[in-house]
């Protein structure tokens, strides 16, 4: 079976991963060091902005290049970019989990003006994504946000945690403006990822009482 992703380069601090289908070609670069040359270019200005927000919260440098086929689908762009970034990030995560240990569980908040969001992430090889929009968050229920549909934002988050893989609970708690609402959500998600990826020698994969090293198998990118 052909590999779904191709790792072009990986040195422990920098990774380049590609995904090629008939619909879309995606190249993702991730660095654990600050590199301002790595910038998103997804063909969506708002998704680019959200990826910068995610990277800032996670303390990662993320570059993305997207080339579409004949049909440009914002849903496909958002979902497949999310899956590819997640698949790349799990290479970092599982290497760190096996060799140094990581928190595994991460939590974060994001706020911007009137908006507030909370995210909790558990990285134990499961693929789940639960997004809630509180009654006080009218901005999270609007159809459009800048040059995307709000559903595209859902598709990115769901795709990311398919690729990563992890369980994510993202709660959009407050917000009238959809831009503010989703920016708070992506910032919260980045903070939760940073927390989950923080080195914790107690929590190496071999110490885990629940699944031992079996989670490492999910680092395979096929």
What pLDDT is stored for residue 210 in this prediction? 64
> Which CATH topology does 6-219 take?
Ribosomal Protein S5; domain 2 (3.30.230)
CB 144 within 8 A of CB 46: no
Average pLDDT, integer, range 122-140 = 92
Q: For residues 52 and 55, what is the distance between their CA atoms, to the nearest angstrom? A: 5
Domain borders along the chain are 6-219
- Do 108 and 173 meet the contact criterion of CB atoms below 8 Å apart? no
| 70, 21 Cβ separation under 8 angstroms | no
pLDDT digits (tens, 9 = 90+) for 30-64: 999 999 999 999 999 999 999 999 999 999 999 99
- List 30's β-bridge partners, or say none: 15, 62
3 state DSSP class of 166: coil
Secondary structure of residue 132 in the 3-state scheme: strand
97, pLDDT greater than 50: yes
| DSSP helix/strand/coil, 76 | helix
pTM of the model: 0.92
Tell me the average pLDDT across 192-219: 76
């Amino acid at each position: 079976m052909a590999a779904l992703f191709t790792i072009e380069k990986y040195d422990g601090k920098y990774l380049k991963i590609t995904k090629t289908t008939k619909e879309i070609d995606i190249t993702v670069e991730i660095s654990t060091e600050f590199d301002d040359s790595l910038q998103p270019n997804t063909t969506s200005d708002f998704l680019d902005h959200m990826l910068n927000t995610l990277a800032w919260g996670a303390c990662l440098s993320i570059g993305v290049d997207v080339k579409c086929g004949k049909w440009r689908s914002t849903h496909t762009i958002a979902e497949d970019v999310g899956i590819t970034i997640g698949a790349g990030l799990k290479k970092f995560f599982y290497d760190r989990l096996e060799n140094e240990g990581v928190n595994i569980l991460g939590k974060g908040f994001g706020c911007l003006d009137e908006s507030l969001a909370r995210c909790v992430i558990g990285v134990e090889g499961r693929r789940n994504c639960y997004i809630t929009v509180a009654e006080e968050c009218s901005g999270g229920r609007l159809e459009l946000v800048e040059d995307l549909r709000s559903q595209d934002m859902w598709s990115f988050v769901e795709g990311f945690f398919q690729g990563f893989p992890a369980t994510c609970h993202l709660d959009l708690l407050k917000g009238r403006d959809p831009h503010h609402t989703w920016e708070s959500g992506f910032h919260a998600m980045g903070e939760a990822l940073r927390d989950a990826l923080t080195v914790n020698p107690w929590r190496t994969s071999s110490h885990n009482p629940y699944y031992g090293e079996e989670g490492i198998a999910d680092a395979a990118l096929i």
